């Protein structure tokens, strides 16, 4: 597999599984490509909240806006250029602020199952 | 392991192994923390060049400046908010432009060996 470059425009943004808010994710590299990690972009509308038990390790780089992630140990808030790392098994609440957010993510292993 | 937040200021930037240019990398999460991926930040001075055979899968998010990566299939150039994905075994030339660059990276597996 060669070197790849990806932009937000390459991501087929879809509503995140299991929620009906204004939170969208789109993979640009995943289990279909044979590598070990999934890479993608996320887009959050203003003041959205997502509760999740992490099925995979997820590294999120904030590109625009602001994201706060809380768990039972406390909470962290990240601005553009900062990283939030969540571990498999973490029970988290992910929240965007008034201006929404754009993120890049890398998960290990893949968070989606291969198509049947 | 709880949820973590990292900024460039958290990265203990050191000259990249095996080169003497103005290219620095600093892990913020790695083999010492027990997770599967290494997370860090990189800083490139203006017009630096780094030749490397990738020992790991490396996802690079451009935070500032511009990076071009070339291999024998061609080359890609990424600006802030864009991602370059390199695969284990890729022989690449990584080049910064006139304004240098700041990147975030996620590698799988860890690119550093545990301390002896």
* Tokens 């930037």 -> residue: B13
pLDDT digits (tens, 9 = 90+) for B60-107: 999 999 999 999 989 999 999 999 999 999 999 999 999 999 999 999
Determine contact: A7 vs chain B, CB below 8 A: yes
CA distance B4 to chain A (A): 5
Q: Find the length of chain B.
A: 116
In a structure prediction context, what are the per-residue pLDDT tens digits for chain A, which is 116 residues long?
A: 589 999 999 999 999 777 788 999 999 999 888 889 999 999 999 999 999 999 999 999 999 999 999 999 899 999 999 999 999 999 999 999 999 999 999 999 998 875 54
Optimal mutation site among B11, B106, B107, interface A, most CBs of chain A within 10 A: B106
Residues in chain B closer than 8 A to A103 (CB atoms): none
The minimal CB distance from B104 to the residues A7, A29, A83 is found for A83
Out of B64, B74, B106, name the one closest to residue A106 (CB). Answer: B106
Contact call for B85 and A4, based on CB within 8 A: yes
Residue of A nearest to B79 (CA): A7
pTM of the complete model: 0.94
In whole angstroms, give the CA distance from residue B104 to residue B50: 16
For residues A32 and B56, give the distance between their C-alpha atoms in angstroms, rounded to a whole number.
Answer: 19
Residue pair A43/A37 in contact by the 8 Å Cβ criterion: no
Beta carbons within 8 Å of A6's beta carbon, 6+ residues apart:
A28, A29, A39, A41, B82, B83, B84, B85
- Output the pLDDT for position A115: 52
Task: Confirm or reject contact between A61 and chain B (CB < 8 A).
Answer: yes
Q: Choose among A50, A43, A59: nearest CA to A100.
A: A43
Query: What tens digit of pLDDT does each residue of B40-52 get?
Result: 999 999 999 999 9
Contact at CB, B39 and A74, closer than 8 angstroms: no
Instruction: Please judge whether A81 and B74 are an interchain contact, meaning their C-beta atoms are less than 8 angstroms apart.
Output: no
The 10s digit of each residue's pLDDT in A91-111 is 999 999 999 999 999 999 998
Residue of A1, A3, A38, A42 to mutate, testing the B interface (most B Cβ within 10 Å of its Cβ): A3
Q: Is any Cβ of chain B less than 8 angstroms from the Cβ of A11?
A: no
């Amino acid at each position: 597999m060669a070197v790849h470059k990806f932009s937000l425009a390459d991501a087929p943004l879809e509503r995140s599984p299991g929620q009906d808010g204004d939170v969208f994710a789109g993979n640009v590299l995943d289990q279909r490509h044979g590598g070990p990690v999934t890479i993608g972009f996320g887009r959050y509308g203003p003041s959205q909240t997502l509760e999740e038990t992490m099925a995979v390790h997820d590294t999120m780089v904030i590109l625009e806006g602001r994201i706060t992630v809380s768990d039972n140990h406390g909470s962290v808030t990240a601005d553009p250029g900062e990283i939030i790392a969540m571990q498999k098994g973490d029970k988290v609440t992910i929240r965007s602020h008034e201006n929404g957010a754009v993120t890049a993510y890398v998960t290990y292993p893949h968070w989606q199952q291969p198509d049947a």
